[in-house]
Chain A
């Protein structure tokens, strides 16, 4: 039963992060996602301090604010202060993360997070934190409900705003030309990424959330050219990773989140060589015979 909850939690994290991650990968904003997942740390620590630990709503808000703040700072540095793009990301998130670690050290006694947790979470403890109703029924772990709720929000977001999201991902120029504000969708997306990071924090930690954010979407990206299919593949791959990752970790008695990352790597390698081989075959075809017409003109 415990393993079921753990795998379910992992799968929920994987799917939530993965669905959002598809848009990050397509918009070449993987590193911004990476930055946000680090930068929310001080927000989490402060929220824990203020709320006296594990009060989900305050933590969510606090960290969500910080995630948006990070996005804003990065944008500002890049666009207004003319700091080079990737440098802006690097400077901002390392600064915020460093502050988070300092706060953790300073308030070590008062905050219920330790450095290990920051790194790779404690998903194994998830099943313990359960909801028990007034009549004594054990409904299961709190994080699962939190994550479940988040996933519902994310699914709604993607389904309802699918046109805008896909357009701003594929052709931002055209999108703004027809009046869709790329800025709003950027912030909305990053806002959801922040929230997802925070909610998943205790499960997989700050650094390994990127694995779920970018891993399954990238694998899906390799395997298909259609956004819809990419989203579906991401869900499947994410769930597989949660499942296998947990079992390997249980067998070896090591970090569960770490194993999930390694599993992602293995699946990636397999997919990579599969598509690479396919491409090689096609290129040989090119030299043998001309397989396409000249470029369409004007």
Chain B
């Protein structure tokens, strides 16, 4: 296996009783890329991230991270779940939540030390939430919540980051902050896999793209892979293309997801 590959997935199949959610997915991602995962609702995008992270059991197939199984390299992988997967009315402060990202390194019975606190504050700084450290998470806007989640992931100081719909329902300023941060991380040779819902921004944001609809439709560099034909295959051909190539994406009918 190519040592440069951060994430390699083989024949990954995930399903419930009789309905497959992911079917025989094969791909490899090199280091330092920002990868977008796109597909219609129910295509298995979230499930892909969750099965890589071991949150959802794998029915068949294998996942290799930095050439090893997940359990060996947990410290190098970080997961940002969807914002609504959590009840934000929980009695915790922004600082508390970001500190949770350090728990993997802390071990079970130990207390956070000064170094950990500094990492937390630094990560809050990176997402522009340093002033909100003491704020209750119930008082945050959607965009702020998303930033807290990302700061938590940063606090893990990982090399591979999996983010589930980080741009969903956030304000423009937050979206700017996040993509700028992701690009900086990519320059530092971190790898980012991002589940994304807005086809219009795919070319702008992602070097690579994975196109999914239970099956893997295509993956690879965005310029070569994100074509009209592949988009049609992924979304079942029910899109209307209003102009021909070149400005295609700009005029694309944006998929409204539930």
Residues of chain A having any CB pair with chain B under 8 Å: 279, 282-283, 285-287, 290-292, 294-298
Decide: B23 and A290 in contact? CB cutoff 8 A.
yes
Contact of A298 (CB < 8 Å), options: B13, B20, B59, B255 = B255
Q: A282-B17, A295-B213 are in contact. List 13 more A-B contacts (CB 8 A).
A: A279-B17, A282-B18, A283-B17, A283-B18, A283-B59, A286-B17, A287-B13, A290-B23, A294-B214, A294-B215, A295-B40, A295-B41, A297-B213
Closest to B15 in A: A286
List chain B residues, Cβ under 8 A from A291.
18, 20
List chain A residues, Cβ under 8 A from B20.
286, 290-292
The answer to whether the Cβ of B19 comes within 8 Å of any Cβ in the partner chain is yes
Closest to B217 in A: A294
Bound Cα distance A285, B40 (Å) = 26
The answer to whether the Cβ of B103 comes within 8 Å of any Cβ in the partner chain is no
Decide: B236 and A296 in contact? CB cutoff 8 A.
yes
Interface size class of B (residues with CB under 8 A): 20 to 34
The answer to whether the Cβ of B69 comes within 8 Å of any Cβ in the partner chain is no
Residues of chain B having any CB pair with chain A under 8 Å: 13, 15, 17-20, 23, 40-43, 59-60, 213-215, 235-236, 238-239, 255
Closest to A296 in B: B236
Decide: B40 and A298 in contact? CB cutoff 8 A.
yes
List chain B residues, Cβ under 8 A from A296.
236
Decide: A294 and B213 in contact? CB cutoff 8 A.
yes
Decide: B17 and A297 in contact? CB cutoff 8 A.
no
List chain B residues, Cβ under 8 A from A282.
17-18
Bound Cα distance A282, B18 (Å) = 6
Decide: A298 and B60 in contact? CB cutoff 8 A.
no
Contact of B15 (CB < 8 Å), options: A279, A283, A297, A298 = A283
Closest to A279 in B: B17
Decide: A287 and B60 in contact? CB cutoff 8 A.
yes
Bound Cα distance A43, B238 (Å) = 60
Known interface pairs A286-B20, A287-B13, A292-B20. Does A298 touch B235 (Cβ–Cβ under 8 Å)? yes
Contact of B238 (CB < 8 Å), options: A283, A285, A295, A297 = A297
List chain B residues, Cβ under 8 A from A294.
23, 213-215
Decide: B236 and A292 in contact? CB cutoff 8 A.
no
List chain A residues, Cβ under 8 A from B213.
294-295, 297
Bound Cα distance A294, B212 (Å) = 10
28 inter-chain pairs at a CB distance below 8 angstroms, sorted by A residue, are: A279-B17, A282-B18, A285-B18, A286-B15, A286-B17, A286-B18, A286-B59, A287-B15, A287-B59, A290-B23, A291-B18, A291-B20, A292-B18, A294-B23, A294-B215, A295-B40, A295-B41, A295-B42, A295-B43, A295-B213, A295-B214, A297-B40, A297-B213, A297-B238, A298-B40, A298-B235, A298-B236, A298-B239
List chain A residues, Cβ under 8 A from B15.
283, 286-287
